[in-house]
Amino acid sequence: MVAVVTGGSMEPAILAGDVVVYRRGLVPHRDEAVVFEDDRTLVVHRVVRVDECGGVVTKGDANACADAEVVRSDDVRGAVVAVLPTWRLLARVSRAPGRPQLR
């Protein structure tokens, strides 16, 4: 599965515009990035710890504190297996000197 990141909570590891590839069915482990559903929105954050019931405490790399709510195991969609900076690379190429700019 793939998702395009729109926020900056995982900077500098994952930036807005990056594409994350995630695999369903993997058990989340500490320090790995996971995709989970929060209020019908997909979120990418890093696992701080997994509790005894399988719930996951997460935190965005750029955030000062861990997320307040424990993510239920049913809401974890998968573990991030790759980050593709596709959209950032395309944006950089399009802004290269000598190329027409859109405003």
Per-residue pLDDT of the chain (103 residues; tens, 9 = 90+): 999 999 999 999 999 989 999 999 998 999 999 999 999 999 999 999 999 999 999 999 999 999 999 999 999 999 999 999 976 666 666 666 765 544 4
**Contact status, residue 21 vs residue 34, Cβ threshold 8 Å:** no
CATH 2.60.40.10, applies to 2-94? no
Let me know if 20 is exposed, middle or buried by CB neighbors in 10 A (0-12, 13-18, 19+).
Answer: buried
pTM to 2 decimals?
A: 0.83
| Domain map (residue ranges) of the chain | 2-94
The span from the CA of 9 to the CA of 40, in Å, is 18
